[in-house]
Amino acid sequence: MAQAAAVAKPPAPPRRRRASATPRRLPYLLIAPAALLMLGFIAYPVISVFYYSLQNYNPTKPWRNGYAGFDNFVHAFTDDPQFWDTLTFSAKWVVVEVGLQLLFGLALALIVNQTFVGRALGRALVFSPWAVSGVLTSAIWVLLYNSQTGITRYLADAGIGEYGTSWLSDTSTVFPAAIVADLWRGVPFFAILILADLQSVSKDLYEAAEVDGASRLKQFWHITLPHLKDAIVLSTLLRAVWEFNNVDLLYTLTGGGPAGETTTLPLYIANTSVDAHNFGYASALTTVAFVILLFCSMVYLRLSKFGGEGK
Amino acid sequence: MITKEATEVAPAPAPVTPAADQRPRTSHRAWDEVPRWQIYVPLSIYLIFTLIPFYWILLFALRPAGSTSLVPWPMTFEHFEKVWNERDFGIYFQNSVLTGVATLLLTTLVALTGGYALARFDFKIKRGFMLALLCTQFVPGALLLVPLFQIFAELKMINSLGSVIIAETVFQLPLSMILISGFIRNVPYSLEEAAWVDGCGRLTAFRIVVLPLLRPGLIAVGSFAFVHAWNHFLFALMFLSDQTKQTIPVGLNTLMSADSVDLGALAAGGIIAAVPVVIVFAFIQKWLITGFSAGAVKG
């Protein structure tokens, strides 16, 4: 029985089988639906973004449409303070969010990986916000932050702060307020992935370290962390890209406000194309965002020596 | 796996003293014993942070409008009735279910055929195709809104749920296909071959032998596709302008962006949005923790 499994390629099946008589074309037929969908709705749009980035294209001002060369890019880098503001905010948002999510997610994973009474329930509750959508997260935190009946009212009742405080409409509090809202549903993502990876650390290693008298902290530093490294690198990268691109939460929670204080680059791009109908310029900004993402990802993978030593 | 360790160790023994004894009396599982308070204290603090928002939305949904009580009593369902009937959440719910189920079916089917090809055949463009799948992870749907809008306008699909279903499917496909091809690879090829020898065609062999073994994986992939389509907001916001075509996240956004937000209605709408997701995740939770990283992180 086993010898058949050892052969990499399948032995030619009985001739009568029509289905397996076309092995050369079959794989292409099988991937065709997926390939066509991706060509039509991912590849083609990406190419058209590159194309429009070199055009003046605004359906409301058709007389100006036409080839623009690199004008759009030049305008972005030299003449558009909003581009720099939103790019800076995006960077700040991604670094703070991903950093804090990783920190709390790692701590939580280590905790719920222990054996303790009520662990199954603890895990389920800790992970619960993970599946909550960005819009629903916004809805929940709008309820919490609203100035009339939000959390500040009850804090004021207890003598902390003032009545009528609205953290989302004050430029000095909106950033931490939005960060906390996104942390609430972002931390479980890391906790789940890291917990899954923790399951595969060999227990013998800890026992050996124990025998050698290594402290718990040392065990974490020399056994757990190196084991988790690849998972951490990959999940932070995926999450950073996701946090950069995702507009659901900020769009609905703050709308990029107050006074543009929380507008990320993708949010700015969406406004440029949807509200201002300036497709050409929005495409150029999109291209810039692609390039930045790609560049940062490469640098990050290189610096972290992903998949290096060990495996 | 869950070993119920009900024995409360009295004062937990100091973890490990880097003592000088050559042979510490390792009680075999000493490494497992973290002081209990180091688990329960941080966990409780975090749980308060996690659960207050959930409690808050329940509170607002269930207490009468204008109440400031911190317990939802007297309890009322007026907000649910209002949001379901007057704010059209009944219609949104239908649209969301339709979009979610169609995305689930389409994604699973297309990912299954493609995943089978990737798992079982060697063909010329396989490596390139795999690379393309991974690259799509860097392509943000949000930044392709304009060209996608133009394509759907060209296809006369603006304002039809079909546009949202296709867009959600396309962005779910790559990861789903990678995951499914991994699951198929875990089913020994020899099982399929044995079925051929017994006179089954490739399709029949797949249906009888492989498909039943894939069930847990397909359920998980399908659930992700459903939840993703259910939660996602931007495509529906952009491609559906007709009030009666919109989905629940768009409805929530409409409630939030009103001049004076009806907080009770918003809370009730939020709960309606959450219920299907909670059900789906209660259903697949077990698989999620144990099996997720195997496919998703290690590629």
Per-residue pLDDT, B23: 45
Q: Best mutation site among A16, A55, A132 for testing chain B: the one with the most B CBs within 10 Å?
A: A132
CB contact under 8 A, A216 and B15: yes
Average pLDDT of B115-124?
90
Q: Residue A307 has what pLDDT?
A: 61
Interface A-B: count of C-beta contacts within 8 A = 311
Which pLDDT score, from 0 to 100, does residue A5 have?
Answer: 42
The mean per-residue pLDDT over the stretch B267-277 comes to 92
**Where are chain A's structural domains?**
80-303
Cβ atoms < 10 Å from Cβ of B284: 19
Domain A80-303 sits in CATH at: 1.10.3720.10
User: What's the ipTM?
Assistant: 0.83
Residues of chain B with CATH 1.10.3720.10: 88-296
- The mean pLDDT value of chain B amounts to 82
Nearest to B225 by CA among B108, B98, B55, B93: B108
Report whether pLDDT(B266) > 70. Answer: yes
Q: Which residues of A touch B35 (CB under 8 A)?
A: none
Which DSSP string do the residues of B125-161 spell out, in sequence order?
Answer: THHHHHHHHHHGGGS-GGGGHHHHHHHHHHTT-TTSH
Residue A215: which of B16, B256, B298 has the nearest Cβ? B16
What is the C-alpha separation between B274 and B85, in angstroms, rounded?
18
Residue to mutate among A41, A47, A283, with most B CBs inside 10 A, is A41
Q: What pLDDT was estimated at residue A165?
A: 80
Tell if the CB–CB gap between A34 and B177 is shorter than 8 Å: yes
For residue B4, the model assigns a pLDDT of 39
Output DSSP code: residue A22: -
Across the range B65-75, mean pLDDT stands at 82
**pLDDT interval class at B16 (50, 70, 90):** very low
**Ordered per-residue pLDDT tens for chain A, 311 residues:** 344 444 444 555 444 444 444 577 888 999 999 999 999 999 999 999 999 889 888 877 778 788 878 888 988 898 899 999 999 999 999 999 999 999 999 999 999 988 888 888 888 888 888 888 889 999 999 999 988 888 888 888 888 888 878 888 888 899 999 999 999 999 998 898 888 888 878 888 888 888 888 888 888 888 888 888 888 888 898 889 889 988 889 988 988 878 888 999 988 988 888 777 888 898 899 899 988 888 888 888 888 877 654 43
With an 8 Å Cβ cutoff, are A199 and B290 in contact? yes
How is domain B88-296 classified at the architecture level of CATH? Orthogonal Bundle (1.10)
- Least confident segment among A219-228, B132-141, B256-265: B132-141
The distance of A208 to chain B (nearest Cα, Å) reads: 10
Q: How far is B239 from chain A (nearest CA, A)?
A: 12
Cβ proximity of B167 and B141 under 8 Å: yes
Of B138, B202, B292, the CB nearest to A196: B292
Name the pLDDT band for B288 (thresholds 50, 70, 90). Answer: low
pTM: 0.81
A10 alpha-carbon distance from chain centroid = 40
pLDDT for A180: 95
B153, B160 in Cβ contact below 8 A?
no
- Please answer yes or no on whether B231 and A136 come within 8 Å at the CB atom: yes
Q: What pLDDT does B260 receive?
A: 80
| Residue B96: pLDDT band with limits 50, 70, 90 | very high
The predicted structure's pLDDT at residue B110: 96
Yes or no, beta carbons of A40 and B42 under 8 Å apart? no
Supply A239's token pair.
Answer: 């999450």
pLDDT at B12: 42
Quick check: helix, strand or coil at residue A67? Answer: strand
Residue A152 neighbours by CB distance under 10 Å? 21
pLDDT at B32: 54
More confident residue, B97 or B34: B97
Q: Nearest-CA residue of chain B relative to A191?
A: B289
Report, as an integer, the average pLDDT of B122-138.
85
The answer to whether B233 contacts A252, with C-beta atoms less than 8 Å apart, is yes
Give Cα B125 to chain centroid, integer Å: 31
Looking at chain A, which residue has its C-alpha nearest residue B116?
A30
